[in-house]
């Protein structure tokens, strides 16, 4: 009789453990978040560097990580890459009448995110971030010698996310709308993991 009771208790315990493991976690209870994304509309595209007008861009490729401090606030950082091409007429005729500028922009931004709507597989958030941009540029003048000038500049970087959303639990799709040196519109894939907060 004792063996029967002990056996049924063990089977009941295994069933509860299996149910607990099969239950999907709430996305707000997973506190590590890795993400990759692609964005369009960097402020650098609209700013006239060297009096040259931008005529093409690769967009912005981003890689980031965020860690939740609680179910509302998360802090993290992101790295991004973008390339912008510009062309304009030059007043310096010793180099040639026109030139091209290619900017390769690397950005590092620390950010804070506020998740104001949390559902098991959906959240909405806003955020703000500040950092630095390293601009590796090459200016090519159209002359007989095809003169080139290369250099590097540092600029401030910043991103304000007005509206962001995430659809999914651990693996999800997300999109953002905001303004800053990274992008105006941004979308990508996010993966969250970790124990309950």
Which of 96, 89, 95 is CA-nearest to residue 50? 89
Residue 69 within any structural domain of the chain = yes
pTM over 0.85: no
CATH code, domain with 95 = 2.40.160
Reported as a pLDDT band with limits 50, 70 and 90, residue 77 is: very high
Residue 14 within any structural domain of the chain = no
Residue 134 within any structural domain of the chain = yes
Integer Cα distance of 82 and 59 in angstroms: 6
The DSSP result for 18-29, as a single string, is HHHHHSPPPGGG
Supply the pLDDT for residue 146: 59
* Cβ neighbours of 151 (radius 10 Å): 9
Q: What is the mean pLDDT of residues 165-190?
A: 96
Query: Which value, to the nearest 10 degrees, does the dihedral of the CA atoms of residues 138, 155, 57, 149 take?
Result: -10
Q: E-assigned strands of 120-180?
A: 122-141, 148-168, 171-180
Top pLDDT among 11 and 161 is at 161
Q: What is the mean pLDDT of residues 92-101?
A: 62
Supply the pLDDT for residue 52: 73
Residue 10 within any structural domain of the chain = no
* Cβ neighbours of 166 (radius 10 Å): 23
Residue 114 within any structural domain of the chain = yes
Residue 187 within any structural domain of the chain = yes
Running DSSP on this structure, what letter comes out for residue 94?
T
Structure tokens at 168: 């999914």
Tell me the pLDDT tens digit for each residue of 137-162: 988 877 655 577 889 999 999 999 99
Give residue 145's domain range.
Answer: 25-193
Largest CA distance in the chain: 102
Name the domain count of the chain.
1
């Amino acid at each position: 009789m004792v063996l029967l009771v002990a056996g049924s208790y063990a089977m009941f315990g295994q069933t509860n453990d299996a149910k607990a493991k099969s239950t999907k976690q709430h996305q707000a209870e997973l506190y590590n978040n890795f993400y990759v994304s692609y964005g369009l509309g960097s402020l650098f595209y609209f700013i006239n560097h060297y009096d040259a007008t931008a005529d093409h861009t690769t967009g912005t490729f981003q890689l980031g990580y965020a860690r939740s401090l609680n179910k509302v606030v998360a802090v993290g950082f992101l790295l991004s890459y973008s390339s912008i091409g510009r062309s304009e007429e030059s007043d310096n005729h010793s180099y040639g009448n026109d030139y091209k500028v290619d900017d390769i922009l690397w950005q590092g931004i620390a950010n804070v995110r506020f998740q104001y709507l949390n559902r098991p597989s959906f959240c909405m958030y806003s955020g703000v971030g500040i950092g630095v941009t390293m601009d590796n540029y090459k200016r090519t003048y159209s002359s007989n010698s095809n003169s080139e000038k290369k250099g590097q500049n540092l600029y401030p970087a910043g991103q304000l996310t007005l509206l962001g959303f995430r659809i999914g639990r651990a693996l999800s799709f997300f999109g953002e709308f905001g303004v800053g040196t990274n992008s105006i519109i941004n979308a990508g894939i996010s993966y969250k993991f970790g124990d309950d907060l």
